[in-house]
Structure 1
C-alpha cells in the first residue's frame, strides 16, 4: 500500500511539474513576444524620428518611392508575423501533445509496474469520494512484493528511457541542424533581398530622373508648339485680314469693270450713231458734188461759195468724228487690257 501511494504521489508530482513547466514556457513565450513588440515599436519610433529629420530633404517622388518600399516591407513583416503565429500555435499544440503523451507514458508505466512487479493479474482500481469532493484512487496491493522484480522492472524501463533519449537527441540534433540551415538561408535571402531592394530603389530613382527629363523635354516641346500655334494664329489672322482686303478690292474691281463695260457699251452706241451720221454726211456730200458736176449752166458765184463752205465744214466734221472714233477705240482697248 505504501509503494502504490508513493507511485501515485510521484505520478501526480510529475504531472504537476509538467504543468508548471508548460506554464513557465507559455509565460516565457508571452514575455518574449511582448519584448519583441516593444523593441520593434522602439525601432519604429527611432526610424520615424530619423524620417522626420530627413523628410524635409526628400522630394515628393523620393517620398513616394520610400512609401512604396515601406509598404512592401510592412507586407513582408505582416507575412512573417503570420508565419510566427502559425509556428507558435503549432509549437503550443506540440507541447500539449507531448504533455499528453508523457501522461499516457506515466499511466502505461504505472500499469506495467502493477502488472509485472506486483504480480496481481486481477488489479482493479476503486474510487473513493473524499470530503472535498475529490476522487482518490485506491489500489489493491498483493501480499508479497519481490525486490528482484522491482529491480528488473526499473532496469528495463531505464534502458527504454535511455534508448528513447538517444533517439530524441538524434532527432533534436537533426532538427537543430535543419533550423540552422534554414536560419542561414533566411539570412542570405534577407541580405540578398536587402541588396535587391537597394538596387530596386536606385533603379527606380534612375527611372524617375529619366522620366523627369522626359517630362521637361515634353514641356519644352509643348511650349514650342504653343509658340508656333500662336504664330500660326497670328499669321492666320493676318491672312484673313489680307483676304478680306483682296475681297473688297475684287468687289471694287468688279464694280469698276461693270461701270467700264457700261461706258464701253455707251461709247459703242455713240460710235454706231456717229458712223450713221458720217454716212449721211457722206451721202449729202456726194449729192452736192454730183449737183456741182452735172450743172449745165455752171454754178453761180454765191451758190458755189456756199457749197464750198458746206463741203469744208462737212469734211472737218468727218475728220473730227474719225478722230473721236479712233480715240474711243484706244480707250476701249486700254480698258480691255486692264
Structure 2
C-alpha cells in the first residue's frame, strides 16, 4: 500500500510539475533565459550592495548575515507549495520598484562620475608633476649643453696656446671663478627671495593670531554646528536630487514623445513634398493633355470639314457614259503612242548629236595640230 501511495504521489507530482511536458529545446531556452535573468539580478544586487555600503554601512552589515534554514517537511509537494508562497511573499516585500532602481542606478552613475572626475584630477596632477619634472630636466639639459658649449668655446678652443698647443691655466681658473661668482649671485638672489617669503609668512601668522584673539577664528563648536548644517543641507540636496531625478524622468518621457512627434512631422513633411511634386507633375501632364486635346480637336474639325467637302463632291459627282470613257481611253492610247514615238525621235537626235560632237572634236583637234605645225 505504501508503494502504491508513493507511486501515485510521484505521478501526481509529475503532472503538477510544469517542466514535465517541455522538450529539451524548450528546457534549454528556459535555462538560458533564467541564466540571463540571474545575471541581471546579480548586477542589480551588486549595485544595491554598493549603494547600501555607501549610504548605510550598518544596514549592509546586517544584510550580509545569512538567514536560518527553514524546517524540512515530509511531503515534497507541500514543500514546493510553501517555497512558492514564501518566494512570492519575499518578492512582494523585498523587490524594489522601477523608480527605486532608477534612483539607485542614477546615484551610482553620479558616484562613478565623481570617481572618474577625481581620477581625472589625480591623473592631471600626476601629469603636471611629470611635466614639471620633464621641464626641469629639459632646462637642466639646456644648461648643461650651454655650459659645455661655453667650456669648449672658452677653454678647449679659446685658451689653447698656439705655440705649445696646451690650455692656459690662467684662463681656466678665470672661467671657474666666473662660474662661481654667477652661482654665488644666484644663491644670494634665492636667499633674498627666501627671506622675503619668511617675512610674508610671519605677517600671515601675526594676522592669524590677531584673528584668534578677536574671536574671528572658528572653534570646535563652530565646526560641529557647521557639520549639522551640512548634514541638513545634504538631506535637502538629496530631496532636491530626487525631485531632479523625477523631473529628469518626466523630461526624458517628454523628450521621447517630442522625438516621436518630430519623426512623424518629418515623415509627414516628406509625404507632403512627395505629394506636392506628384501634384505638379500631374498638373504638367494635364496641361500637356489639354494642349493635345486642343490640337486633336483642331485636326478633328479640319477632318470633318474635309469629309464634308468630299461628301458634297460625292453628292455632286456624275458618272460619265461608256462611249466617253472608251473615247478617252482611245485618246490615251494614241497619246501614249505619240509619246513613245517622240521619245524614240529624241533618242535618235541625241545619238546624232553625240556623233556630230565627236566629229567636231576631231576636226578641232586636227586644226589645232596644223596650227602648231605651221608655227613650228
Q: TM-score under structure 2 normalisation? A: 0.24
Bigger Rg over Cα: 1
Q: TM-score under structure 1 normalisation? A: 0.26
